[in-house]
Amino acid sequence: NKVETKVQLTHKPSGIVVVCQVERSQLGNKERAMTMLRTKLYDRELEKHLSAIASKRKTMVSSGDRSAKIRTYNFPQSRLTDHRIGLTLYNLDAVMNGDIEEIIEQLQLAENAEKMKGEGIV
């Protein structure tokens, strides 16, 4: 005289299995199992997203070592070198007086190229 109300759902692409037998009806268990499965899938995707952001942030932030330079200002040679993109300019006086448009343009070009490479366009 027992009624089978247990529900087991398997998400084939990820292999996540959810079993529910809390409710007294199979329909209630199915709804609860779907909610549990949806939550697990959301948590997995959120974890992937957060880890991707963390890894990107880690590549942007340097270790703080002296060897991890962003820019070098060489006053005797009037030279500025941006080590992130390999840009070298020989007009340090103009840059120090606020003429930084060329640096900004080159940084934007490098960032756009990196984005396109990440999306597989280039």
Q: What is the DSSP string of 18-48?
A: EEE--SSSHHHHHHHHHHHHHHHHHHHHHHH
**Whether 11 and 53 share a structural domain:** yes
- Residue 95 domain flag: yes
Residues 56 and 79 occupy one common structural domain: no
Whether 105 is in a domain gets the answer yes
Q: Are residues 113 and 77 in the same domain?
A: yes
Is the same domain home to 20 and 52? yes
- Answer whether 77's CB lies under 8 Å from 90's CB: yes
12 and 55 in a common domain: yes
pLDDT band at 78 (very low <50, low <70, confident <90, very high): very high
Higher confidence at residue 116 or residue 60? 116
Residue 13 belongs to some domain of the structure? yes
- At 64 the pLDDT is 64
Q: Count how many domains the chain has.
A: 2
pTM for the predicted model, two decimal places: 0.52
pLDDT digits (tens, 9 = 90+) for 87-111: 999 999 999 999 999 999 999 999 8
The confidence score (pLDDT) of residue 55 equals 86
Distance CA 122, CA 112 (A): 11
Give yes or no: residues 85 and 109 share one domain.
yes
Look at residue 30 in the predicted model and tell me its pLDDT: 96
12-61 pLDDT, tens digit per residue, is 999 999 999 998 999 999 999 999 999 999 999 999 999 999 888 877 66
Determine the pLDDT at residue 62.
61
Structural domain harbouring 78? 71-119
